[in-house]
A and B are shown apart, each in its own frame.
Chain A
């Protein structure tokens, strides 16, 4: 007897995730806002730290942060992780019955895990890019006044990439436990559970 699953197309998973995000947009928007605030703070710190720099600038722009800027960034990232973690746990509880039903219908544990990770990736890309754009808009005048010119495009690019990486990292760290928890839900339990 062959017991293998065929691979589920990314398109189908994306569709399911998007439908779910559309339906629960208020919580998703809050999470995006959260990521956006955290990332915009960190990336504006990076932009400001480069405004006085002359000579060679490392592509890992965050090493040019001052001690103060570094601490502010670390604190904002930590707060961000905790709030997303909380929001994801709520998301799992909210979908408790739904997840149980899906598992009853034959969804594998890993599939449930992928749903949450996919959702968090989408959130982190939207939040991260928004954060970068807004921090650019706000810091550009300051940098212009302070040093008479903007920092180079290459530096902006590396800041963008690092911001997105930080955003993805924050989200993954915060999502991995709730998603794992969701994937291990006992479907028999959910059928008894009345909301």
Chain B
């Protein structure tokens, strides 16, 4: 296994049984995500995006196939090791932000570090530094209810970055945001990707995200339909305009 991949899936399949019918949510998906890549995945609802996310994120077990994160086969891990993996190797960004409502922005960001057992002083320094980087240096002690949607998403980006994960999984990060705020979030993710080499894997319906990604994967009925490089998409757009 070469280590240039942050994530690699081999013949990954997930079947659900509804009554007597077996549904193929994912069907033999082979996917490689390079380090430092900004990858988007597109597809209609029910195409298997979320299932793929859950499998890569170690939240669900595949029916068949393997997922490697940093060359660790996560299908072989038990619950305890999966928790470790989620803590150290994966950062999550959700559509609905999923911040802990009773904690301030600073505490929300330091939460994954508490789980990882980082000492308190280090936690506060790191959380402050990250919140400043995402542009919330003056909102450290605000609770999620006192922040706007875009600000909450910034907090959750800071939270995802805090344990220096190998990959960030973003499930429709701009789904609940208006156009401008969404664009700000996308720009922020792109900046982090370019400046710090963070690997980002992003599920989306949003064409703005596609503009900044290196590769786009189209998924339909649990299969990868096509993989596009960004240049190609841009050319196609120009063609549509003319």
Contact = CB atoms under 8 A, between A and B. Distances in A.
B35 interface: no
Question: Which size class do B's interface residues fall under?
Answer: 35 or more
A188 B59 contact: yes
A105 B159 contact: yes
A103 B83 CA distance: 7
Interface of A: 1, 3-9, 12, 16, 19-20, 22-24, 97-98, 100-109, 111, 186-188, 191-192
A5 B112 CA distance: 12
A39 to B, nearest CB: 28
> Which 3 pairs between the two chains have the least Cβ-Cβ distance?
A106-B87, A6-B117, A188-B59
Contacts, number: 88
Nearest to A15: B107
Given A5-B117, A12-B114, A111-B115, A104 B57 contact: yes
Given A19-B103, A23-B102, A105-B86, A188 B115 contact: no
B34 interface: no
Given A104-B59, A104-B92, A20 B102 contact: yes
B115 A106 contact: yes
Contacts of B60: 188
Instruction: Tell me what chain A mostly uses at the interface: helix, strand, loop, or mixed.
Output: helix
B116 interface: yes
6 contacts: A8-B117, A9-B120, A104-B57, A109-B79, A109-B80, A191-B171
Nearest to A6: B117
B115 A8 contact: yes
A24 B100 CA distance: 13
Contact of B111 (A1, A102, A109, A191): A102
Interface string B30-59: 000000000000000000001000100101
A12 B87 CA distance: 17
Contacts of B16: none
Contact of B86 (A23, A104, A111): A104
Nearest to B160: A105
Nearest to A97: B98
